[in-house]
Amino acid sequence: MPVQCSKCEAPAFYLRRYTAEALCRTCLTETTQERTRRTINKHKMLRENDRIAVAISGGKDSAVLLHVLYQLEKNYPNTEIVPLTIDEGIKGYRDKALDAAHELTRSLGLELEVRTFSNILNYSMDDIIEMRDVDKPIGACSYCGVFRRRALNLAATELGADVIATGHTLDDEAQTIMMNMMRGDSLRIVRTNRPRNKRIEGLVPRIKPIMEITERDAVAYAHNKGLPYHDVPCPYASEAYRNDLRTFLNEMEHRRPGTLLAILRSGEAITKALDVSTEASEFQHCEICGSITSTRICKVCSLLDELTKKGNV
């Protein structure tokens, strides 16, 4: 006999291991949206009248984020969703992901805003890889992450967004928390989870509405809804540390369902225990570009300075 949904009697489509629920297609959709709604409310991520810039990569996680937010925010006519893609300029990768992002936004009747590294920083990621110091290369993702954060903030500011929503899943969050702990940098856990009401002037607040949805759940949701997404890894992906942790945590989650959620809860407890407000006074304007930074020269300017010093431009 086919397995029945734990919530209704329809045939099950998906087994959510950490809640030990077999779910039919409808209940998978409803519980994923409800779980996201609870996360949004718990962390007071959104307000009525918000203009929400939704960071879309073309991958499955941000596709799920956009689809779920779209369904939830339909009930709030004064809320506006603005899908936004930062095109880093990685030939054969981001261009394909962009096609998927366009297809997704069109299917929801939304217009995708696209900003490029080349326009914002003068260099694409392909340029940056060429310009890197071959003797002591910094990982591609280190440039990409710093530059993307800046590009997102600039684009969201220009679009008049009140908040930036990103598609970080429970897996991403658990990996990041563990990485910061293993590097002895617990304060970073606090910094990356700054609540919206403790925003820093000049930085658009960031929220992670699907941070309690596992990657496995996201894949099931995307397939169930037939969402278009691009699933090929980036040619510059070099985060060996994160990949090791991903493998380890996936195994732990498989053996002991609930591990990822327990790590997220530990991260929340750390964030609660260490007060972020004391740290806000340490922010200043970068001496070169004027952006908000915790150091004299911001990370974007120091990375760009190092790249251009090589004289390869």
Give the footprint of ligand SF4 on this chain (CB under 6 A).
88, 140-141, 144-145, 234, 236-237
**What is the Cα–Cα distance from 192 to 198, expressed in whole angstroms?**
12
Give the nearer residue to Zn ion in terms of CB position, either 140 or 301: 301
Asked whether position 234 contacts Zn ion by CB under 5 A, the answer is no
With the C-alpha atoms ordered 311, 126, 86, 136, is the resulting torsion angle positive or negative?
negative
Give the nearer residue to ligand SF4 in terms of CB position, either 108 or 129: 129
Sorted by sequence, the CB contacts under 8 Å of residue 206 that are 6+ apart come out as 163, 164, 165, 166, 194
Q: Which element (helix H / strand E) includes 41? A: helix 25-42
Contacted by 269, from Zn ion, ligand SF4, none: CB < 5 to 8 Å by type: none
Contacted by 162, from Zn ion, ligand SF4, none: CB < 5 to 8 Å by type: none
R_g of the chain, CA atoms, integer Å: 20
Asked whether position 301 contacts Zn ion by CB under 5 A, the answer is yes
Residue type, 4: Q
Among 8, 182, 187, 289, which residue sits at the site for Zn ion (rule: CB under 5 A)? 289
The minimum distance between CB 300 and Zn ion, in angstroms, equals: 5
| Number of CB atoms found within 10 A of residue 226's CB | 7
The minimum distance between CB 128 and ligand SF4, in angstroms, equals: 9
**What is the Cα–Cα distance from 104 to 65, expressed in whole angstroms?**
11
CA 278 to chain centre: 26
The minimum distance between CB 179 and ligand SF4, in angstroms, equals: 14
Contacted by 252, from ligand SF4, Zn ion, none: CB < 5 to 8 Å by type: none
- Per rule CB under 5 A, count of chain residues that contact Zn ion: 6
Give the nearer residue to Zn ion in terms of CB position, either 129 or 288: 288
Distances (CA, A) of 92 to 84, 113, 124, 141, 247: 20, 20, 13, 17, 27
The minimum distance between CB 251 and ligand SF4, in angstroms, equals: 22
Give the nearer residue to ligand SF4 in terms of CB position, either 18 or 241: 241
Give the nearer residue to ligand SF4 in terms of CB position, either 88 or 253: 88
The minimum distance between CB 281 and ligand SF4, in angstroms, equals: 31
- Contact in structure between 184 and 224 (CB atoms under 8 Å): no
The minimum distance between CB 291 and Zn ion, in angstroms, equals: 5
CB-based burial, 180-212: b 16+ in 10 Å, e otherwise: bbeeeeeeebbebbbeeeeeeeebbbbbbbbbb
The minimum distance between CB 132 and ligand SF4, in angstroms, equals: 12
The interface region with Zn ion, picked from 61-69, 106-114, 207-215, 287-295 by CB under 5 A, is 287-295
Contact residues for Zn ion, defined by CB under 5 A: 286, 288-289, 291, 298, 301
